[in-house]
Structure 1
């Protein structure tokens, strides 16, 4: 394998590439530290008590790969502790093997995104742990779907180490989007390319609330494709395969891990959640398209699976084109919110295009996690509406690139179709939101959405809090003294769950 490794660049002035994904607001942040008592405009309700965790790809050193994609950076975790109407901020890098070895070498050692054959040195675990951060069983898990997660202390953000769940992790990979059953506390997970790069194996597994392995089922996918997110109902798990496919020989030749394939369907694997084996999976098919992040899934009174998610007819990851180098213009990419009705016991595996339930550009849907896996009424998501008044010409030169911008947060009542929008300003874009219930007894969707906002006029970041009962106006805007580049995912952890750690 040593013959595949690249020679290191000599020491000298190190600057980030003059590329959109490293410029303007997307210039790496590289901050570690804490700031107490952030400035607050407005008033944070006393009932909000917990921590908003999020992670961003944030390279500590310039890459040696030309045109490195923006989400190949090191995982840098932010924590916003909200209590007694005050906000304290803390941020630390995940101490992955990559991060520590590159810090020691003072230069980049990792090569192309998920291609070990382009690395400068051999890694045992080459993950950047930069895609999601999730709380489970007293630990904060920094996840990226190519490896096990790294565990962190939720209070200090110190890295504990690679998490193998006391030696129980059944495969080599771990999803960036695990789910918790709100009724049972079961931790539902999976890994794809579960036996290593380029393998078609998918491993479904789950843990009890105290971390004991419950279920393990090995599957073989119809194609080696990306499975970024998945959905869970009371009795089923659903695996949407994105038509970005992997070929190990292409990787060995120095090519990309992923390549768009417009000649295959959008597959949805459906597996019974309990007591299943590999022969129980069914691979349903929809027309070639790009499935986004799952909104929610549940079983209706007839036993059918109702599955909502954004779907685009274009390759959203345009920086990984097809075999002929074709990729869509980023400005033409959009996703509708689509509903698929799946009859899990049917032998007819063709689903069709699904039903569009919101014909407007949206992504990163979030629901009230207390009713996840069952029928729900409220959905919150990132939204792009050019008619709102965003000054695109003014902010375009400083936005940077490599990600899809959204200028509003939307609240959709799935049952009535009513849509509300929160627009933070003409020189602002939003990042993914989280929902926080007003209290443990609040009805579904009654509470607050919390999210980061990019203020391009000030080239700074803000944390906005919006009451779902008055959605068009923020109850509080929290000002950060630093700029946080675009993140990927995050989650809210209630103060009562952190109480033992905080003490």
Structure 2
């Protein structure tokens, strides 16, 4: 592969750039190790017996791309083991091909985000494995995922990297989503890959995997444009693919440009495909006005066959560091995602979606549900909120904030039946990352359990875990002090101890 920008004469930086995404709380951590019996304020509920895994982009070497985005760091996995009221911590990098070769070279070798033509060497698999981490029951391993490549397998106890996962040779395409879904009744894993035939291709490959690891179907389809499909949703009978209006172009990549470019004229497409027995030609690409769809909450079907689909939505480019063709990007302080609900007939002849209903006007993202009701009607959801009226001391936080990542100062719990919003505010010098939900027990009612969230404490410049009981949402049941700073992460999941046994 001849990369026009590849040169062995590119100097190796010894310090991280003086950019917001590498400064203050966002300074790369570059830490591997463990700490037993973390300090706990309050009481860890005895029902919590399992491990909270999360991943953050955390570059082991300074990039030679000066304004490298936060998203381009190496995947560093944190594991918080809850047992008998105690919490133990372990952290380890995913040993990707990139990580190993850069450690051997003692410098960064990868170039721009998802642009292989700017690398110093050729990689077989260019993954940073830095977007999500989840459990894969057929192999009893973790999957460290980034949506431009196959996942890496890791030992859930030691966090040792076990190698690339091609699902015993069954993976049909070059990419695997960072947001696979698991059917709570059958254990079936529903997944897909976009840019499935390589960078800049409009091909999407949808597949589902039986609980024993066997691929039970593979469907190839073509999207209206080569663009980002970060998250998706499933119902009992349908799969939904919301396309973010960030487009990819191979010629731009070869010229050393960015992988993504915002297109303000592109509609929001939502592809709808029958979940089982479909062909690629069966997909319907519904349209809505230009907007950025956030992480999906859930989707389900009404008795009359309509699809209900909840998610955050904004009319601005959330990934503002990738502007449009004219270099125009929004001020991040003006980006505001409302909580919306699309309801539509998947068999309708018109491909124009009805306007979504706003179910919450507050700025929110990273929604989670009780995964036991995935693809069914949900009545509770949990998410990050930004509400400046809560009393956050922005004057104290801003000088040490760092940048390049979203900011949320509270957690929200929405009862979708009553419309009642509960808010957990962690403190005046705190920001929250993505929460996870853990049921109180297998037989607990939907939404009855605990939220666990990693919290940035800008007063102590360290990280904390806050544990919130959903029956008393406005106060923390326990605060676990890590006494270590973990920069902003992306996603994570809970794995119950009985599933690891």
Verify: 1:441 aligned to 2:440, yes or no: no
Whether 1:241 and 2:243 are equivalent positions in the alignment is yes
The structure-2 alpha-carbon separation of the partners of 1:90 and 1:420, relative to structure 1 and needing over 3 Å to count, comes to same
Report how far residue 30 of structure 1 moved. 0.5
**Which residue of structure 2 aligns with residue 88 of structure 1?**
88
Secondary structure of 1:28's partner?
coil
Partner of 1:23: 23
In structure 2, what is the equivalent of residue 181 of structure 1? 183
2:280 maps to: 278
Provide the rounded CA distance (Å) in 1 between the counterparts of 2:73 and 2:38: 27
The aligned runs of 1:197-212 (5 Å cut-off) are 197-212=199-214
C-alpha deviations, 1:261-295, integer Å up to 9, x for none? 01110000000000000111000001000000000
Secondary structure (helix, strand or coil) at the match of 2:407 reads coil
The one-character-per-residue Cα deviations of 1:15-47 (angstroms, maximum 9, x if unpaired) are 000000000000000100111100000000111
Instruction: After superposition, give the CA deviation of every residue in 1:83-102 in whole Å (9 maximum; x if it has no partner).
Output: 10000100000000000000
Q: Deviations over 1:452-484 (max 9, x none)?
A: 000000000000000000001001000002100
Instruction: Report what 2:39 is aligned to.
Output: 39
What is the rounded CA distance, in whole Å, between the counterparts of 1:354 and 1:44 in structure 2?
Answer: 40
The residue that corresponds to 1:51 in the other structure is 51
The aligned residue for residue 485 of structure 1 is 487
Aligned positions, number: 499
- Alignment of 1:157 with 2:159, yes or no, is yes
CA contact (8 A) 1:285 1:352 kept: no
Give the C-alpha shift of residue 11 in structure 1.
Answer: 6.9
- Deviation of 1:364 after TM superposition, in Å, equals 0.1
SS at match of 1:380: strand
Q: What is the TM-score when the length of structure 2 is the normalising length?
A: 0.99
Match of 1:391 in 2: 393
- Separation in 2 of the partners of 1:134 and 1:5? 36
Q: 2:3·2:254 contact (CA, 8 Å) conserved in 1? A: no
Range that drifts further, 13-22 or 461-470: 13-22
Alignment of 1:419-430 (within 5 A): 419-430=421-432
Paired residues of 1:455 and 1:461 also in contact (CA < 8 A) = yes
Cα distance change of structure 1 residues 283 and 497 upon mapping to structure 2, 3 Å threshold? same
User: In 1, Cα distance between the equivalents of 2:10 and 2:303?
Assistant: 65
Residue 408, structure 1, aligned to residue 401, structure 2? no
Q: After the TM superposition, which residues 364-383 of structure 1 pair with which residues of structure 2 at under 5 Å, given as runs?
A: 364-383=366-385
Aligned partners of 2:419, 2:13: CA distance in 1, in Å?
Answer: 55
CA offsets, 1:301-343, max 9 Å, x none?
A: 0111100000011000000000000000000001001100121
| 4+ long deviations beyond 3 Å | 8-13
Counterparts of 2:133 and 2:492, CA distance in 1? 6
Question: In the alignment, what sits opposite 1:215?
Answer: 217
Deviation string for 1:109-148 (max 9, x for gaps)?
A: 0000000000010000001000000101211000000000
2-side partners of 1:140 and 1:401: how far apart? 29
Q: Which runs of 5+ in 1 are unaligned?
A: none
Equivalent-residue separation in structure 2 for 1:3 and 1:380 (angstroms): 45
Deviation at 1:215, TM superposition (A): 1.1
**Distance in 1 between the 2:3 and 2:77 partners?**
35
C-alpha contact 1:57 1:131 (8 A) present in aligned 2: yes
Q: Is the 8 A contact 2:219 2:280 kept in 1?
A: yes
Q: 1:287 touches 1:352 (CA, 8 Å); kept in 2?
A: no
CA distance in 2, matches of 1:463, 1:303: 41
Q: What is residue 296 of structure 1 aligned with on the other side?
A: 298
Q: Distance in 2 between matches of 1:6 and 1:247?
A: 19
**Matches for 1:126-145 after TM superposition, within 5 Å:** 126-137=126-137, 138-145=140-147
Hey, what's the Cα distance between the residues in 1 that align with 2:92 and 2:73?
14
Map of 2:76 onto structure 1: 76
The corresponding residue for 1:117 is 117
Q: Distance in 2 between matches of 1:395 and 1:357?
A: 30
Q: Quick one: which of 162, 169, 172 aligns to 1:170?
A: 172
Q: TM-score, normalised by structure 1?
A: 0.98
| RMSD of equivalent CA atoms | 0.9
SS of equivalent to 1:4 = coil
